[in-house]
Structure 1
Amino acid sequence: MLLSELITPSLISCELSGRTKDDVIGELVNLFASENIIENKDEFIEKIKAREQIESTAIGNGIAIPHARSSSVKKLAVAFGKSKDGVDFDSADEKPVYLFFMIAAPENAHKEYLQAVAKVARFLKCNGIKEKLLTASSKEDVIKIISEFDNIYKNGISVKTKEGRVIYTQK
């Protein structure tokens, strides 16, 4: 699975306007809805919020990866959004979040869902990726950054779980 197979220019917003966690969730869900990836926005938003209630998906360092599986999702996809001013997303480090990768997966796509979460996490751990994304000024810039990553890590990621957490290793 390549990250570029999950995210397209129409699923990218380099200028999120939301000032709150709920605003940003709504904006990213709207990207999926505009591409007919989800059938019921409200139901998917509730799934995302339910996941956030378990534990914030803000992983620190200005990054969040909100994600959920839902029967209203037609196909696995990833949306990207960037906030210029940052948003309080209940991050463990208590710092604002600037970069958001939302993952939407069909209810029955458990393995693919975990692979997508692992792929996005691996992408964000790569040296210099955060800085490149923060300075990206267009959808095309973001796609280029993702494509460069895909070219380096084509072989994929092996996904395992332990105590409900994703553990990944490069194949």
Structure 2
Amino acid sequence: MKEILTLQEVADYLQLSDKTILKMVKNGEIPCAKIANQWRFSKPMLDDWITSKMQVIPQNDLSRLVESQFDYIPLARLIDEKSIITDLKGQTTKEVIHELAEKAYINEFVADKNIFIKQLLEREQLTSTSIGQGIALPHLRKPNGNIVTEPKIVIGVSKEGIDFDSLDGEKTTLFLLLLSDSEVVHLKLLSKITRIFGIDNAISQIKQLRKPEEFVKFFNKIEQELSRR
């Protein structure tokens, strides 16, 4: 099967109706990208998503998730001004990953920088984490509490943009490195980010941000809007 699928092909692949898939897309429940006003899906990323859905979630993860009230923590609390890079220097996928990982390590979000970088690059080799429209969401294929010390988001902005093997062929300018210490937290975080980017004009607004404090303010505002839906 080819690596880029249409909505109908995904429906056939998952043995669901196209209406069900479209509903999942609108709810931010399934990884996808809108290209030329059409929904497209990366099969490797879809397979990762299917695998994560089939995994048995350890009870201690579920308990920790409930106890920490992760669903109610604003994304802005996962984004520190000190972990935002407004002028990435990297010109390649490897260089950008190293730069983002270094920022995570300096802020003590990561216990082992070298292993973290290695696994991030392995994930990119599998299939790009770019979701199109100039945005990428680098993350580990299998979240690991021994590597990531706490859930956080490291943001990087490339003024010129780099070739990140995007689905739509555009250069990637905005990177949100998702740090999760468990599969549960990762899925919650990815789902929330997807829902935010589904809000009208959210992507165009975030691309206009230039200062770290503007990113924090943006996520506070946009999540308030999301909570009213």
TM-score bracket, shorter-length normalisation: 0.7 to 0.9
The alignment yields a C-alpha RMSD, in angstroms, of 1.5
Q: Which runs of 4+ in 1 moved over 2 A?
A: none
Indicate the residue corresponding to 2:115 in structure 1. Answer: 43
TM-score between both structures, scaled by the size of structure 1: 0.84
Q: Which runs of 5+ in 1 are unaligned?
A: 156-169
2:138–2:177 CA contact under 8 A, matched in 1: yes
TM-score between both structures, scaled by the size of structure 2: 0.64
2:155–2:175 CA contact under 8 A, matched in 1: yes
Q: Which letter maps to 2:216?
A: I
Query: Which of structures 1 and 2 has the larger relative contact order (alpha carbons within 8 angstroms, sep 6+)?
Result: 1
Instruction: Work out whether 1:80 is the aligned partner of 2:152.
Output: no
Q: CA separation in 2, counterparts of 1:129 and 1:92? A: 19
Q: 1:125 aligns with which of 166, 180, 198?
A: 198
Q: Whose strand fraction is larger, Structure 1's or Structure 2's? A: 1
Shift of 1:125: 2.3
Indicate the residue corresponding to 2:211 in structure 1. Answer: 138
1:89–1:96 CA contact under 8 A, matched in 2: yes
* Of 127-136 and 141-150, the range deviating more from structure 2: 127-136
Q: Which letter maps to 2:192?
A: K
1:12–1:81 CA contact under 8 A, matched in 2: yes
The alignment-based identity, stated in percent, is 28
Q: CA separation in 1, counterparts of 2:120 and 2:195? A: 21
Q: Which letter maps to 2:187?
A: L
Shift of 1:27: 1.1
Matches within 5 A, 1:1-171: 1=71, 2-68=74-140, 69-70=143-144, 71-106=146-181, 109-154=182-227
Shift of 1:154: 3.5
Q: CA separation in 1, counterparts of 2:106 and 2:197? A: 26
Query: Size of the alignment, in residue pairs?
Result: 154
Asked which structure has the greater CA Rg, the reply is 2
Q: Whose helix fraction is larger, Structure 1's or Structure 2's? A: 2
